[in-house]
Structure 1
Amino acid sequence: MTLDERVGSFMPIVSPPTPAPSPRPSFPSPFYPDSSTRNTSPSPYDPSIPSEFSNLTGNPASRKQYLVSILHECSPAELRFISQTITPMLKRDVLTELPAELALHILAYVDDPRTLARASQVCKRWHDLVSDDWLWKVLCDTYSFRADTEDKTGTKVLEDDESWDEMDKFGSNPIDPWLTARDRLKRQEPSVSHWGPYSSDELLLPRTQFSHQEYFRRAYGTMLNLRKGGSILRAHRMPIPTPDSGVITSVALDTEWVVVGLANSKIHMFSAITGVLSRTLVGHEQGVWAVNLVCRGGYWGRGEMDEDGYPDDADDPVVPAGLKTALGIDRPRRMRRPASVGGDSSKPSDICCTSEGWGQPNSIIVSASCDKTLRVWDARSGHCIYVLRGHTATVRCARVLHNRPIAVTGSRDSTLRVWNIQKGVMLRVLHGHTASVRCLDVCGNKVVSGSYDTTCRIWDVDTGECLRVLRGHSHQIYSIAIDGNLVASGGMDTIVRVWDATTGNCVAQLTGHTALVCQLQLSTTTSLLATGGSDGRVITFSLRSFSALQRLAAHDSSVTSLQFDANFLITGGNDGRVRVFETQNGMYVRDLSERCESVWKVAYKKGTCAIMCKRAGKTVIEIWTFKPKER
């Protein structure tokens, strides 16, 4: 029986025009309680009661009048009962009733992760919606948290024997292994996102399913800790025997190692996870001016390859079997990754002086020294694999290309040299500069160099050809960077110039510094250029308008370190401060560490920060962590 049938079939009696109360029905009803039942607990519902309310179907005005007349006769207690009864009936879970695609579209407008976390506790359906990976991918984009290949895999590509053996199952075709593995992922696991447009096609590697939610949790926690938090893993203090011998000249940092080069010819290796000093590399006869860290794993990039996808530059070197393993020489030679699976032939260099590996199981360290040599080290054992000679003066700068065992060095002998560091041979000499090569940078197979002869040059690393000569500076060049088709350079003339790498034309002259421009970082991803000078100023420029966005009086003396990402700008100076600013608006955030006598180098990556300074007459190396605690 319907609710209308149970209420009754009588028309309501219109109240007379006098103040007298309206007559009441003569039959008992839960909607018309008499005085004897008022203020008592409601009686059980009687389904046999006829309903006059059902006879009003099709007359909305009468139905409303009927209900109003009932409510006017109810006591406050009865009205509360009606409210408590009706309220749950009126509640609607909009997100649950909507199609999942629309529900996710609505949730994508929520930019506070704490709100999403609370929403996930409402019910199981909301929890499933909030757990959708596409939603957290959108939030990562909102906060400019960009995951790289290592983040998406959890480990380096082909970092152990099992990885190589797994790839061996697919035959000798260098492309099929990646495509087949990706298809295997689709068959074994569902799409990363249940409802959103993000799918497993966007995963570059087959062995690990990447979670944007977990990645956001780590990145967001790291961001909060960098604002106000963090702790020192280790602080190493080393006495300085002579004024110059303990000076730190260079640093390289990845998620495993902190590599520090010193003017006393030593190289210290610290664990980026624990901060412990792992080993000291001894072999150079004079000070180390540059270090570059090649991460373990990776894949073969584009370059000079033979039919097996292997660099066809020289025969296998005569080195112990263990060192061949460290270099990846005794591994299968079919690991060239196709561009369609994520290979990038124009990836810029890393600001922390690291590069992606070519598939070797161990990290490799490349160091350049005043003794005119380049040395290649096995990070795991600490053995020196090669001593590469050829320069006739101090090797001032060095870089290693991503996914290729190719290193480029610049020297005071005015030349650049290209080396195969896997086989220990020099490939070619780049002639053109007429004075010391002070700085260089790489992007894909392009190398850009800055010299004391006031020019910059762009080279093709595979052919040795000088593609462009960039003229315009009036004094020595001390800093240079290349990212895609833009080159930025700075030096003694206090002017920062931005060049078109394709045409060689100067597209902008940026002013604001009053002294040597010694630090520089260029990023077309964020469309920003940051510069630091000996005047203590840090200036950020837009690469769209080439106008100054922020002019920061960051330090009282020369800026010795500078690096930024989409969220933070970190600087170090000779005034002994390490400072953090917001990248977008230049607002000061905090000072890292206690103030010291001088800061030599600062490097930051993925929640780990290495600060190298002089404190109380001693060289101090502090390894900080800003990573959130694991759940």
Structure 2
Amino acid sequence: MSWLSNTDPAHRSFPAHGSSVVTSLLLSRGRIISASDDHSIHVYSLLSGELLHSLEGHESGVWANAAKGDTLVSGSSDRTVRVWDLATGKCTHVFGGHTSTVRCVAIVTPEWVDVEDENGAVTKEKWPKRSVIVSGSRDHSMHVWALPQPNDEEYKSIVPEYEDEEDDVTGNPYHLLHLTGHENAVRALAAQGRVVVSGSYDNTVRVWDIVTGECKWMLTGHKKKVYSVALDLARRQAYSGSMDDTVRIWDIQNGQCKHTLTGHTSLVGLLGLSSSHLVSASADANICIWDPDTGELRHKLTGLLSAVTCFQHDDSKVLSGSDGVLRMWSVRDGTAVRDLLTGQMGVWQVAFNGRWCVAASSRNDQTMLHIWDFGVDGDEMHGEETEDGNDDAK
């Protein structure tokens, strides 16, 4: 109620990353984790805004982060995947193997999933058997790595000097699979259970088995580059957004396109999925809320003046960044509720979890981080965790 009411939340802001762009923003266990094209990752206290750690080691811009407990995984233009201990700020592992920018990473944790046999009988199986990292790159491929555990021995690859030289991953005990087949950059990925979905600039979406490395389906139909994907194991569906202005809903059991969603007039660069809503954001300055079962357009959020640069949503609200404004919308009726930020040069990232909201923006050539507390006395400070201990921020 406090999110969607007129109550003013507690708000603080502070400078971060100089004037550089914040490329990734996470909330995890009372921490704000911000990555930047200035090569660094900063870890702040959510409660005080204090800088806890500056994670140094990447030699180029950092484009993707994923967190689980006290472990952070990052991907960079320096072609490496790095694993960090968030409690100490130390880099414990460096994985080479990609020959170009690592554009997306995901941590996949074991969970019970439905498995249907050839006779239609459904049983429960737990996949993957241990947590893994999936990384996607502009080198057209993905790698799958075992996620190091807190007491595992450190491992640091020696990255080749030249981009066209591939690091030998055969000596890396954490390397599991190299997924090849895309003919252009892997721009986005989503993973759950033993399924990975990847979207590429080759106009295709691929569905992979994370255990065997098999490409189960190559989903064709988009006319231009694919920029965003989402995975929905409960509905056995995948979703993709493309430069061809459409969103597609795919059946991952048979590889067929179930629905082509038309409502945008420019690149669909962002997709989000909650239990009952699919949300897409576009360079046409509009946000669409869809029924993920039927593909029906429920609401079109209009009134922004430029491309949507970031958003996050749940079943009650959408927060979006665009044209220097951070705006909150109601999912129920598609109306604008309030502007949390105005007068910014740009809003780069937004993330929320429970009572907390964090955003990164640019103001007067200075990058700023903002924290809002929508809680009331007695609320927990941190976001709750799922049964297997995974942060909501994953």
TM-score range for the pair, normalised by the shorter chain length: 0.7 to 0.9
**What SS does the aligned partner of 2:375 have?**
coil
Distance (Å, rounded) in 2 between the aligned partners of 1:543 and 1:367: 30
Distance (Å, rounded) in 1 between the aligned partners of 2:368 and 2:303: 22
Match in the other structure for 2:353: 605
Contact 2:4–2:337 under 8 Å retained in 1 = no
Q: Which of 1 and 2 has higher RCO (CA within 8 Å, sep 6+)? A: 2
Q: Which amino acid aligns with 1:521?
A: G
Distance (Å, rounded) in 1 between the aligned partners of 2:218 and 2:73: 28
Distance (Å, rounded) in 1 between the aligned partners of 2:263 and 2:361: 28
Contact 1:519–1:561 under 8 Å retained in 2 = yes
Contact 2:17–2:36 under 8 Å retained in 1 = no
Q: Does 1:460 align with 2:209?
A: yes
Match in the other structure for 1:442: 191
TM-score (norm 2): 0.82
Output one character per residue of 1:335-386: Cα deviation in whole Å (capped at 9) or x when no partner. xxxxxxxxxxxxxxxxxxxxxxxxxxxx101010000000000000001000
Distance (Å, rounded) in 2 between the aligned partners of 1:544 and 1:436: 29
Output one character per residue of 1:366-423: Cα deviation in whole Å (capped at 9) or x when no partner. 0100000000000000010001111111111000012443000001110100011215
**What SS does the aligned partner of 1:239 have?**
coil
Output one character per residue of 1:26-78: Cα deviation in whole Å (capped at 9) or x when no partner. xxxxxxxxxxxxxxxxxxxxxxxxxxxxxxxxxxxxxxxxxxxxxxxxxxxxx
Cα distance change on mapping 1:626 and 1:592 into 2, 3 Å: same
Number of aligned residue pairs: 335
Match in the other structure for 1:398: 105
Cα distance change on mapping 1:292 and 1:238 into 2, 3 Å: closer
Match in the other structure for 1:371: 78
CA apart distance, 1:546: 1.6
Residue pairs, 1:105-184, within 5 angstroms? none
Contact 2:4–2:330 under 8 Å retained in 1 = no
The correspondence for 1:549, drawn from 292, 298, 301, is 298
Higher radius of gyration, 1 or 2: 1
Q: Does 1:579 align with 2:327?
A: yes
TM-score (norm 1): 0.52
The correspondence for 1:382, drawn from 65, 89, 96, is 89
Residue pairs, 1:196-345, within 5 angstroms? 220=1, 222-223=2-3, 227-240=6-19, 246-295=20-69
Cα distance change on mapping 1:385 and 1:238 into 2, 3 Å: closer
Q: Which amino acid aligns with 1:579?
A: R
Output one character per residue of 1:138-158: Cα deviation in whole Å (capped at 9) or x when no partner. xxxxxxxxxxxxxxxxxxxxx
Q: Which amino acid aligns with 1:460?
A: D
Residue pairs, 1:502-541, within 5 angstroms? 502-523=253-274, 525-526=275-276, 528-541=277-290
Distance (Å, rounded) in 2 between the aligned partners of 1:386 and 1:540: 40
Higher helix content, 1 or 2: 1
Output one character per residue of 1:280-304: Cα deviation in whole Å (capped at 9) or x when no partner. 1000001101011112xxxxxxxxx
Q: Does 1:478 align with 2:204?
A: no
Contact 1:293–1:365 under 8 Å retained in 2 = yes
Q: Which amino acid aligns with 2:44?
A: F
CA apart distance, 1:254: 2.3
Worse overlay, 535-544 or 391-400 = 535-544
Match in the other structure for 2:167: none
Runs of 4+ in 1 over 4 A off after TM superposition: none
Distance (Å, rounded) in 2 between the aligned partners of 1:421 and 1:476: 30
Match in the other structure for 2:251: 500
CA apart distance, 1:563: 1.8
Match in the other structure for 1:70: none
Which segments of 5 or more consecutive residues in structure 2 lack a partner in the other structure? 111-129, 156-173, 380-394
Q: Does 1:489 align with 2:240?
A: yes
CA apart distance, 1:565: 1.1
Residue pairs, 1:420-431, within 5 angstroms? 420-422=146-148, 425-431=174-180
Q: Which amino acid aligns with 1:416?
A: M
CA apart distance, 1:234: 4.1
Contact 1:572–1:600 under 8 Å retained in 2 = yes
Q: Which amino acid aligns with 1:565?
A: D
Match in the other structure for 1:614: 362
Q: Which amino acid aligns with 1:457?
A: R
Match in the other structure for 1:588: 336
Distance (Å, rounded) in 2 between the aligned partners of 1:554 and 1:261: 29
**What SS does the aligned partner of 1:578 have?**
strand
**What SS does the aligned partner of 2:109 have?**
coil
Worse overlay, 617-626 or 375-384 = 617-626
Match in the other structure for 1:417: 143
The correspondence for 2:314, drawn from 549, 560, 565, is 565
Distance (Å, rounded) in 2 between the aligned partners of 1:292 and 1:442: 12
CA apart distance, 1:561: 1.2
Q: Which amino acid aligns with 1:487?
A: A
Contact 2:327–2:341 under 8 Å retained in 1 = no
Output one character per residue of 1:104-144: Cα deviation in whole Å (capped at 9) or x when no partner. xxxxxxxxxxxxxxxxxxxxxxxxxxxxxxxxxxxxxxxxx
Contact 1:255–1:605 under 8 Å retained in 2 = no
Cα distance change on mapping 1:259 and 1:554 into 2, 3 Å: farther
CA apart distance, 1:248: 1.0
Output one character per residue of 1:250-300: Cα deviation in whole Å (capped at 9) or x when no partner. 1121242111110010001111232222111000001101011112xxxxx
Contact 1:233–1:625 under 8 Å retained in 2 = no
Distance (Å, rounded) in 1 between the aligned partners of 2:284 and 2:214: 37
Worse overlay, 528-537 or 591-600 = 591-600
CA apart distance, 1:450: 0.2
Output one character per residue of 1:482-509: Cα deviation in whole Å (capped at 9) or x when no partner. 0111111011100110101111110000
Which segments of 5 or more consecutive residues in structure 1 lack a partner in the other structure? 1-219, 241-245, 296-362
CA apart distance, 1:481: 0.4
Distance (Å, rounded) in 2 between the aligned partners of 1:248 and 1:550: 29
Contact 1:254–1:272 under 8 Å retained in 2 = no
Q: Which amino acid aligns with 1:509?
A: T
Contact 1:561–1:602 under 8 Å retained in 2 = yes
CA apart distance, 1:447: 0.6
**What SS does the aligned partner of 1:469 have?**
strand
CA apart distance, 1:566: 1.5
Q: Percent identity?
A: 36
